[in-house]
Chains A and B, each alone.
Chain A
């Protein structure tokens, strides 16, 4: 199953990826990252189709898409 891995040291919690995901797999974490943001996370298992659209819109190159 494809998945995304969010680099919490890069993520600025902008939430743009949550809107870009056609499957609504991404949610925001409720704990702070080391940089002081609520980072994005893959919230559901068996959800990601590896389309990469979240990574397309991420301004901070924080999302790695694995297939």
Chain B
């Protein structure tokens, strides 16, 4: 008998600290598999966020830097511009990318920086204990809106792919989900595309991944999968929003 799924060498072989059923661990493995398959581990630099993935620099077996909250794209820009031979990715949550870091996100896309952003949309602030995020759904409870997000008070959720798709510099935008095994396989393809675009010098790529935070949603891990499929997907439809092949094209 043969082992079919060897652990990727781009991931350090230690246990991760994430809660049971959290999507971060799945996406970490996918990024590591892509680094292995593209043979880029030794020249890759990752930017770890502030958020639950703050310790991801312990997990990825490539060079890593941990940046201030939301500044991932600015740090990635600096690394990529000074070391163009490196492959640079920024790993960010929704609080990080769409709230405090929105300016960095929008402007790095507008400049079409040749970087790859992996964006975990779990509709909540995970690390700090479940506050409302820019991506929290209408009616979804959070510690800062315990009765559910009310648009009159809290405004409306931000759809990052749709927003960025207005920018000519955003060359590749895809939204996927890790709530099913099939979705995980598609997510890996999207992450690979985002890295390949950078290798080919095609400019700004971002993959938005709908991901589970059962702990702060107050549900079981299995209910977490359902929450993504039934509550998040209607608001955040999956698909490719921009790709270098359809120049200037929008979904």
Contacts and interface: CB of A to CB of B under 8 A. Distances in A.
Interface of A: 2-3, 9-10, 12-16, 18-20, 37, 50, 52-61, 63-67
B25 A61 contact: yes
B118 interface: no
Contacts of B25: 59-61
A47 B60 CA distance: 34
**4 shortest A-B CB distances, which residue pairs?**
A59-B25, A14-B21, A53-B181, A12-B20
Interface of B: 1-5, 7, 11, 15-16, 18-26, 29, 178, 180-182, 184-185, 214, 220-222, 225
A61 B4 contact: no
A67 to B, nearest CB: 5
Contacts, number: 73
A37 B20 contact: yes
Given A59-B23, A59-B24, A60-B15, A16 B3 contact: no
Contact of B4 (A14, A37, A59, A67): A67
Nearest to A11: B20
A66 B3 contact: yes
Contact of A13 (B5, B7, B20, B24): B20
Nearest to B214: A14
Contacts of B5: 52, 55, 63-65
Given A60-B18, A66-B4, 19 more contacts: A9-B15, A10-B15, A12-B19, A14-B21, A15-B222, A19-B225, A56-B181, A56-B184, A59-B18, A59-B21, A59-B24, A60-B16, A61-B7, A61-B11, A64-B3, A65-B3, A65-B4, A66-B2, A66-B3
17 contacts: A13-B20, A14-B214, A16-B21, A37-B20, A52-B4, A53-B182, A54-B181, A57-B26, A59-B21, A59-B25, A60-B15, A61-B11, A61-B25, A64-B5, A65-B5, A66-B1, A66-B4
B22 A59 contact: yes
A64 B181 CA distance: 15
A56 B240 CA distance: 22
A56 B225 CA distance: 14
Contacts of A18: 222
A5 B215 CA distance: 27
A12 B21 CA distance: 8
